[in-house]
Amino acid sequence: MVEKRYVDVNVFVYWLGGHPEFGGRAREWVRRMESGRWGAFMTSALTLYELVVMLAGLSGVSLRDSGFVRTIIEAVSSLSGLEVVGLEWRDFVEALGFMGRYGLDFEDSVHLAVMARRGVDRIVSNDADFDRTPFVREF
């Protein structure tokens, strides 16, 4: 059985943005995603949205630039071991509970809700806020 990991948006931001401090670590995780079996790693559609918005903001590119958006989506979709999971209404409802229980913001709580729904207990993230949860954070 393959141990599944959920990948947080910061890994993709560091990878595609070439972060000076964390880019190397992010590239290591991306290499694992590239060489892994499909579904060994997962993220949600929310991550893709956050990634496009963050990189557009960092680079000053308009969200109307479809070429820019396409480049990001294609980079992420090329990772053979990564599954992108859709969001469900219940993820938002569950996220409200996680917000109160763990003191997280709404976005992090939605990520946890997707993880819980899919039975994933490990998250690849540089966000120490996840350390307040029972999920295992790796980076």
Cβ-based burial of 2 (10 A; exposed 0-12, middle 13-18, buried ≥19): exposed
Mind listing the pLDDT tens digit for each residue in 16-58?
A: 999 999 999 999 999 999 987 766 899 999 999 999 999 999 9
d(CA 123, CA 74): 22
Question: Is 5-129 in CATH node 3.30.460.20?
Answer: no
Predicted TM-score (pTM) of this structure: 0.92
Instruction: Tell me the domain boundaries of the chain.
Output: 5-129
Please list the alpha-helical segments (H only) found in 1-139.
Answer: 9-17, 23-35, 45-59, 66-77, 89-102, 106-118
Distance of CA 63 to the CA centre of its chain: 19
pLDDT over 90 percentage in the chain? 92
pLDDT over 70 percentage in the chain? 97
